[in-house]
Amino acid sequence: MLKVPCLVLDHDDTTVNSTATVHYPAFVEYMEKNRPEGMLTLEEYFRYNFDPGVIGMFREICGLTEGQMQEEEVFWAQYVANHVPKAYPGIREILEEQKRRGGKICVVSHSFGRYILRDYRENGLPEPDLVFGWESPPEKRKPSPWSLEEIMKTFGFRREELLVVDDLKPGYDMARAAGVPFAAAGWANDIEQIETFMRRNCGVYLKTVEELRRFLFDE
């Protein structure tokens, strides 16, 4: 009997260590060439990506125009195409156990689906059953609950049979909007503002990958 029949994972900084090793370096390279006055530190990048989210961060905090945002997205996609982040130690074993017990694994992310699947392959992770990435229409991306509704419709799950695991507020907002349980992934950073919000608002806060394993599988 699985505690969580359907595990719905974020990708960046939940499954793979990608902000510090891929996304932030891409951001720095783009900003240095195009808008150095909008540069952020890595901690600021984490904080603003948490709230107001990636679009708000670029538009409101970094001051990018719509044209620059489109340019940055192209630059970012090209950078990501050539840089594969590593999965966090212990994630592979969790996903393998979820599959072994007959559970589903879905991914809802702001990364492109093709790169999510590549990262799973390159890290030796079991292939997800469904992936919803950045290629989804903007109005259907996180924090919209659309992807969770699609997962439930596809597999016939009830809301309580899903668990969203995400390190950022858009994932929390998505789960709350869909009435789906949420667990905060706290292993990507030690930023007090993020941890305080997640501990205060989320039903479950997991500081390490091992805590996620115990939460899912320990009797």
Do 10 and 118 lie in a common domain?
yes
Do 43 and 99 lie in a common domain?
no
Do 103 and 204 lie in a common domain?
yes
Give me the helix-helix angle, 91-100 and 209-217, nearest 10°.
20
Whether residue 178 contacts residue 171, with contact meaning beta carbons closer than 8 Å, is answered with no
Is the omega angle on the peptide bond into residue 52 within 30 degrees of 0, that is, cis? yes
Do 110 and 47 lie in a common domain?
no
Domain total of the chain? 2
Q: Is residue 1 a part of any domain in this protein?
A: no
- Going by C-alpha positions, the residue among 7, 9, 13 that lies closest to residue 187 is 13
Range of the domain at 39: 19-81
Do 91 and 71 lie in a common domain?
no
Domain boundary residue among 53, 81, 109? 81
pLDDT the model gives residue 185 = 97
pLDDT the model gives residue 132 = 98
pLDDT in tens, the chain (219 residues): 799 999 999 999 999 999 999 999 999 999 999 999 999 999 999 999 888 888 999 999 999 999 999 999 999 999 999 999 999 999 999 999 999 999 999 999 999 999 999 999 999 999 999 999 999 999 999 999 999 999 999 999 999 999 999 998 999 999 999 999 999 999 999 999 999 999 999 889 999 999 999 999 996
